[in-house]
Structure 1
Amino acid sequence: MIQKIITLRGIGLLHDALPSGAVKLKRVTVIYAENERGKSTFAAICRALADGDGGLINARRTFSGTYDPKVHLRISDQSYKFENGAWSQGYPKILVFDSHFIETNVCLGSRVEASHRENLLEFAIGEHGVKLKKDIDEKTRRINEINREMRDKARLISQHSGPYSVEEFVELKPEPDIDTRLEEAQKRLADARNLESLRRRPVPEPLLLPEFVLDDFERVLSASLENVMEEAERRVKEHIQRRLDAQGEDWLRQGAIYLETADECPFCGQSIHGVELIEAYKTYFDASYNELKQIIQDELNRVEETFGEACRGEVSKVLTQNEAAQGAWSDRPNLPFPAKLNEEEIKSVLDDLREAAVEAITHKLSAPLSKIGLSDRLRRAAQRYAAMRARVEEYNQGVRKAKAEIDSLRRSLATVNLGELQEQIKHLEAEKRRSQPNIARLCSEYQELREEKSRLEEEKRTKRRELEQYTENLLRRYRESINEFLAQFGAGFSIEEMNVTHVRGTPRTEYQLAVLGERVSVSSQRDESVGRSFESTMSEGGKRTLALAFFLARLKVDQNLRDYVVVVDDPVSSLDSGRRRATRDALVELVQHCSQLIVLSHDAPFLRDLVRRLRDDEWEALQIRRHGDYSIIEKCDIHRICRNEYYKIYETLIRYLEEGPTGNESEIARYIRDYLEHNLRNRFPIELEGAKNLGDMIRRIRQDPAAYGRVGQRLSDLDRLDNFSSPYHHLAADRPPPPPDAELKPMVQLALDIGRG
């Protein structure tokens, strides 16, 4: 609770409000002040403290004042100060009912705008609800901020994302070998478009060197007639099979020895000339010899043909062709072309082998029956040739692999879909752009923002569901409590239904009034079908009653009210006597539930009636009164103020007539209406009950003049006095200048004459 007001300077009429020092407050503090003395300023200071709003104080800086705005309050044993344009700290546990509350949460004049329904919801849902709503609002603010940041980044990313959307582009995951893959795809597209040209390019062929089997060549060199006897053996064995038995072979072998030197058969003595079998043997032996020579000659021919000029020419042809093919495919460095061979080296090896082999076979040909061995030269040439063939075979493997890849390339290009390949290249180009450091950073930031937004949206949905459930339960109790207060005030209307709607993400209350069984829309738009609206239905007193019911109902349903200071400014302005009593009773009940109640009013009897229902030790009465051009705050005796107010006014008017003007002519002019209101209300308490001012009283009297005796015959004088005095009750800016004594004195005399009977 606010324990003490220590300093209050430089704010509105409260320029130096505590000339006698600090004033203490109690759990219930009533503050009496006439209109325009600073009540609303004090309420605004309390609201500014609750909001921590320094601007509200600075905006009320005293005109032409000598002090800067300064406030020092003692609340719950802690100091709260406003100086140098700012609060040292805020104290949010203060709730203020005043004209600002009405204009912010209920209506402005006769209009109920969307902002009123939004603010009313925030007020109704209380501390817990406001915390949830602020959390939602903060998440909404951050989401909107993220959306702006994402739009800015998306605009930059979109300059590089084609043909993809920004969302698709940021999800691309470039591979480390993107440059290679892109180059290959671009090359493949170019190849596909030039397939016919690729088909005309030469391809490598393997170099086929003839095989030289040294063992086979050696057998030719070592061949003799012994080798040819195999044929003779066949014939002899054939003869033995036909003519002789198992021992026939030995018998013929022995006899054949004698045939070498004899012309007669060694067995029968007959001549062997012309014997077919013997001649066959001789012929046979002659053919085998010739055959041997032919074999040797054929081998010589084979060596010269196989390893001669034709072979040399084939080597040149193939190597030249393959070199041309490699040059034609030079734009394909990845093709596995083998390293080039040394043509002259190959020919040299061929020549060495051929020459060594020809030399050996020629020697053999000169002595066919002689067994010729392999020369060292031939062995070395054969080894070099075998090594060369191995190198050539390794070369051929590369050739075959290159050729296979070329063939595969040609086949694959024949089936290429150019459209799909172009799309693939666009994708790879986008991937490459995506991998550039500045764009990658933009995309990462965009993804981080998107993830944060997704998380915040989920948290917001969770909080909103929590708030909606909380609000639904609260508003049901809130509406019931409002209607209880309206019934207590005898309002004649009630809240028919109260719900929450969301417009562009902003929640607000939606409610309707029920007046005599008919619904009235709380909207700034008139319902043309029935001609009813809030403006046409609600009187000023009804609007203030509704606002007060909203305020008190919120306090009633708040479970944490015990920690709050409640400030109520002019709660009974524009209310009739019945509602004044109901308001008093509601405030007395409120005292039991809040930490502190501060009530400000220009109606001293209302404040007196309020504190009469409290223990003397739990309340304090203060007064804001005029002091020079400004106002001061001091303790007061509210009972004495109520008891002497009428007499004070009467005494001031008498003194003016007796002593003349003393510079207080405007005050005297204002007192004329105040005197008549007190006088008539005391003389006709029942007839004028609920009349708010002299104008209301005159209208009542005019309805039945006879009921008011001689006063009923003075209506024209009453009108004249009301018209004269009322302007001096206006705000200072609208107030006329002080009246001259010659005009004022007759008016005072007329008023006293009517008051005396």
Structure 2
Amino acid sequence: MLERIIKIENIKQWQHKRALSQGFDKLNLIYGRNGSGKSTLSKIFNFINENDKAAIEALKPLESDGVPALSLRVGGASVTLNSLQTPFNFQVFNQEFIDSNLYIPNAKDRSQLTNYYEFSLGKVSVLKEQEIDTLKAEIDAINVQLSPIDTRLTTKFPSKTVAKIRGIKATPNADAEIASLDAQIQDLKSVEHYKSRKKLSPLVLTKPDLDTSVFTLNIESLSKEAQEKVELHIANNLKERDVMWLETGTQLVNESDNCPFCAQPLANSNIFSLYQDFISDSYTNASDKFELDSDQFELDVRAIGCKIEDLEALVKSNSEIIKTWSDRIKGFNPQYDFKDLDSLSTSIELECVNLIKEKKKDLLLETDFTKFNQLFDSIFDGFDFSAYNSEVQEFNEQVTKFLNELATGSTQALQAKINNIEETKKRFETEVVDDLVNHKSLSDDKKDKTKKIKELKEEIDKDQEDSIKEHKDSINLLLKNFHSMIRIKELDKDNKGKGGSTRLKYVINFIDKELSVENVDDNKHIFEHVLSLGDRSALALAFFLSKFAKANSDNSIVVLDDPMSSLDNYRKDATIVEIEKLINNGYQTIVFSHDPFFLSEIQKYSILSQHTKCFEIDVSYKKSDPLKADSSQYISSQMIERSDYDSHVLHSYHKEYNKLYDFVADAKDESKVEVARSIRPILEAHLRFLYPREFNEGVWLGNMITMIRDETDPSSHFFDTHNQISQITKINEFSKAFHHADGFDTKIQSLDLQTVQSYAQETLQFVTGI
């Protein structure tokens, strides 16, 4: 058994530097506030089990330069950092146990309780357990060696497994093959370059349809007689048919109706009258329409010249294309002389303008298109582009032939072939060959060890099959005693847990609804969302305690680190009963708790009290600079002995009463100030207990004394029947001087030990009725 903690120094906050006079017993209760070091001590016990010196040394605090030290007395032998081996096994229940066996936070393996057999029975073969641990450690060491090899191989061969890398075949003449493929890629790139070059375009001049109907007018609204007389007059008098003067003249006629040229009256002029009829709205409209139509006709004629200019530009463009192909195709330079076409284009444009001009002079004049048509036909019928286009066609055929002779295929496919060959070259590099050889050797070794672990676990499972079935009943009985709503309905084991570890298969009944964690996908939230914290803690504690339902046969020491988390009062009482069973079954038990009431209940439990020792983790908090808000704070913990936990669980009234009683019995000078300050509060508390309704929180000792002194009714419970008011007044006058800060230091210095003892005795006599 664990007999004594001698030293725990520089391990987390622990600075326990000397052994206590009180050793450990069958049941050992250790009280410590949160953060005092309870969890650290339970971890140390686990590390002792694992003989893990490095893990303990890793708990060295940052603020200390000291060397971690550990010294325990276990089974008559000394356990230190240099000698952690002991025939005793620390079986620790803490949050780590719950996390490992009930819920895995990272959710990588939701098949919980992966190593249940380690906790479920006490007769598992130690030799087989140790062999499994040794094999696991060796596999971990192999994994450490495999990891950098895997990293190197996957870096060189992305997205390929080691097996696929090993299966890569060598490529004969790899460098020559790569050179050939590179040449093909260059050819393909050339093809893409040549295909991007343009071919020549032939010359084509399409004959347009010109609408000459715009020159034919039909003025139906004009007077035929007026038209004939005006035309006859003009023919007789103006041989040159220049009528512009007449049109202008009519516009110059003013209100006097006289001729603007000779000033003769126009009223009797037949020709003027006829001309006025002729120049009517119809003629004006016809003139306006011709203006528009003739503009469009002129644009259509000028478009012929634009098309010829486009052909000239096309010849120049073809010449530039021929130059770009000069590195591959030679002997072509087709040209065409556009001088005559340009001249005809200019002539037809001038003829068009002249025809429009003549028509505008006399809309009724019949237009002569003879010259215009000759020019038009000369342009579109007199020129032949066939010779030029023949050269263009021949050139383009040469280009097509050249392109067809170039390489075909895909640069991506060729590059993929090159990459594959490069990969085969890397596969047979010395470093890769060595890595693959080492990887196979290590993997085979790992496989053999994994197979051996599986065989050992199957042997253990076979030995424990009956015990597991029996153990299920123990777990359910514990859950029933905890008043838990959950039960294990089925219990079986397999080796399908993470890494081939043993796993429980079980079905849980919870509030009459069956939830199976065997089907992980369907029930992945059982432990996260369905079970309450109390249910989880009860289930984990039941799994843990079920191991110890029989007599201790393997030198186990049971450690319970705050087992009451999230448990109600009923479960606390049931846990105390289970602790009694542990003691009766021969298990030395250590209980850590931050709840002094719980520990006090265990310590005072009649059957356990005779085998119980009490301890407390005493914590000091040191600040490097007390006046600085963010000053560094260091925690220092050590174990101290306790006879009980009354100082933590008794009501403050009882504590103050005991303080006065002890002082009266054995007065000490260093306690006089504290006792003097305690007299007034205990008097107030006593009177509040006597008269809880009258003396509430707003009434203080001075008010209480006044109410008692002023009461004159003998039947009142405030009436001072025994004449004690003078005694209370006397005690109050003494104590109030030390209950307030006025003259604080002076009064303390003049305080007499016997005086304080006398007043303390009078206070005790008053509150006890002596």
Q: Flag whether TM exceeds 0.5 (same fold).
A: no
Calculate the TM-score normalised by the size of structure 1. Answer: 0.42
Calculate the TM-score normalised by the size of structure 2. Answer: 0.41
Highest CA radius of gyration, 1 or 2? 1
Greater helix proportion = 1
